[in-house]
Amino acid sequence: MKKFAFIMVLAIFALQSCGAGQQKNNDKSDSAETAAPVQTVAATQSADGGSILLTKNVFLQKVWDYENSPQEWTYKGDKPALIDFYADWCGPCKIASPILEEISHEYAGDIYVYKIDTEKEKELAAVFGIRGIPAFLYIPVGGQPVMMSGIARTKEDTKKMFKDNIDKYLLTSN
């Protein structure tokens, strides 16, 4: 019984992402910390940054046209990008959202921070094989993208994780 309890505690701490099979949370209330402003389907980012919500059409124009070149990754952007695959009902996504909004302002002019709502853009989630959220795609200007999922245990560690990954995967090759 002690072994089972220990395994359960480990599982709770280790799993900081929502599984794809998780039921939608019908509670649509937003807390102050999760209500981060996001640009809606904007083709460009403002000078001071801000997350950009992507639809399939904008994704095909600004990131990768997988319909015309499905076998070859060709990034269409002019600077590196970080894409957040999320859903409104996902607890860890709600924690990551305001952190990514801060990141988008801190790295304004250096990277794009995009968001894809996996409930509305199911095809985009399927293209990348998203099975658990939050998931994050780091896209350098040259080279292949890197997918990661989940967040750290604290908000501070999560922000550090994003900054470390941005520095490692997006800004070192520039």
Report how far residue 26's alpha carbon sits from residue 92's, in angstroms, rounded to the nearest whole number. Answer: 16
With 0-12 / 13-18 / 19 or more C-beta atoms within 10 angstroms meaning exposed / middle / buried, residue 58 is middle
**Residue whose C-alpha is closest to residue 113's, from 70, 155, 159, 66:** 159
Task: Break the chain down into helix, strand, coil percent, rounded to 5.
Answer: 35, 15, 50
133 neighbors 85 (Cβ within 8 angstroms) = yes
Residues carrying an active site annotation: 90, 93
Q: Do the strands 146-149 and 135-139 form a parallel or antiparallel pair, or are they unpaired?
A: antiparallel
Q: How far apart are CA 37 and CA 20, in angstroms?
A: 25
- The pair of three-digit structure tokens given for residue 46, joined into one six-digit string: 């403002």
DSSP 63: T
